[in-house]
Chain A
């Protein structure tokens, strides 16, 4: 029999510490929608998405109500459109993005991911055409998210794609400059992108997946922060044990919701993504956890160690709580979506270079970072190449979601609204790297021995 204090602990986590299930994401395979005619292809994907995800939002809301746990987002990921749509030989995929947007609105999800291409070794014509469609696609849609995988530990880094993406990001920013270049907030570039990530903007449905699958992302930085308030001045053993126990409890809720959603939708359960994901809400911050461990601001010496500790303990606690773990699984460190990170930037404690170091030990990378709109395309590509190299060499997923805010400079603030938050424009190292970026070809795959 459950005890009163246990019920109160759970309900305090939900009501006072922002415990929630961040997302139920339905992955949908679109390979069986292939057609040589883009209009037929678009019709088929619209029909499949709206049929498979018809009850997703309703069932998500039912589960939320019956268990008393908020499920913040209901989302869809689809097979990378550059693969599913290759047979159309289309030279522009904007109409497909609009269809995805329409399908998202029809079923009531807030984002649909998979306007994507996997080009970690080379680009097919379909993939290059999709990438060149991204700026327009993101400017004429509201709910479509896009991602491109440009590197992996097995194949190296496709530097031709990295160079192209620098230009694409800049063009996307230009096309949405009236809204602080928000188009770039819906685009992420990856190294070692996972096939089953439920989190946006990088979610897509990999080719090794089921026809339809349910993946769930849990969250709860506020719960971890609250638990750590109870172990100030304790040693690292106590600190780590507390994080593990808390991560276990948070993940169990995600596991329950995932199993229920899978059962009620009649769709296989894929994975739980054990990520700690912040929101701009006060008390829902990764940065606050690091400060609770003993840092004045994120970015102070010790930050990378504290984040490594946090990330590892969350995984250790979470792995036992779930039958299948996957996705990104780690702490997210977006700047605009985390008030503690924003405060650290404003205080001058946190720089892009420190964020890059932090991404060596946590799950993602340079996430939701606003930079001056005048930043050159080669500098953007250089930042991407650095982050991809960290992922490639360390066999981990790294990503860049960077927003050159047109018309704004260091000292200004970009406003994205909602879950995307707001971000102070960060200083970029502007020393030239164009001669490096303009070299064509690939960075070869790294050696997988002699680890140092």
Chain B
């Protein structure tokens, strides 16, 4: 399974999760896990997603999520999970 980590960081506002999840649903990207906190009004979320059935190219999802983040006023990143596994697990 091709897994990605989506991180969303920025000032908290209404509908952040809804907008990101709607985008993912529209592109056949399944959410496996969500972890989220708010520290001093700052929204901090991480999603583990399955990209196997994604309807568009990985690079395009990265770009479109970046644009979506700008619309909401937060920073949205998508990276393959391996970079975190490699760095933090022996």
Give the interface of A toward B (CB within 8 A).
1-4, 6-11, 62, 65-69, 249, 252-253, 255-256
Contact = CB atoms under 8 A, between A and B. Distances in A.
10 contacts: A1-B33, A2-B48, A3-B35, A4-B35, A6-B84, A7-B84, A67-B80, A253-B86, A253-B87, A256-B83
B85 to A, nearest CB: 7
A253 B59 CA distance: 19
A252 B62 contact: no
B67 to A, nearest CB: 15
Contact of B44 (A4, A65, A253, A256): A4
A252 B79 contact: no
Contacts of B78: 68
A99 B58 CA distance: 36
B49 interface: no
6 nearest CB pairs, A to B: A68-B79, A252-B86, A67-B83, A6-B88, A2-B84, A256-B86
Given A253-B86, A255-B86, 14 more contacts: A1-B48, A4-B35, A4-B44, A6-B87, A7-B46, A8-B7, A9-B88, A66-B62, A66-B80, A68-B62, A68-B78, A252-B86, A253-B83, A253-B87
B77 interface: yes
Nearest to B75: A15
Given A1-B33, A4-B35, A10 B59 contact: no
A68 B83 contact: yes
B64 interface: no
Interface of B: 5, 7, 9, 33, 35, 37, 44, 46, 48, 58-59, 62, 77-89
Given A2-B5, A4-B35, A10 B44 contact: no
Given A62-B59, A66-B80, A67-B79, A252 B48 contact: no
A11 B77 contact: yes
B59 A2 contact: no
A1 B37 CA distance: 17
Nearest to A256: B86
B84 A10 contact: yes
B47 to A, nearest CB: 10
A437 B81 CA distance: 57
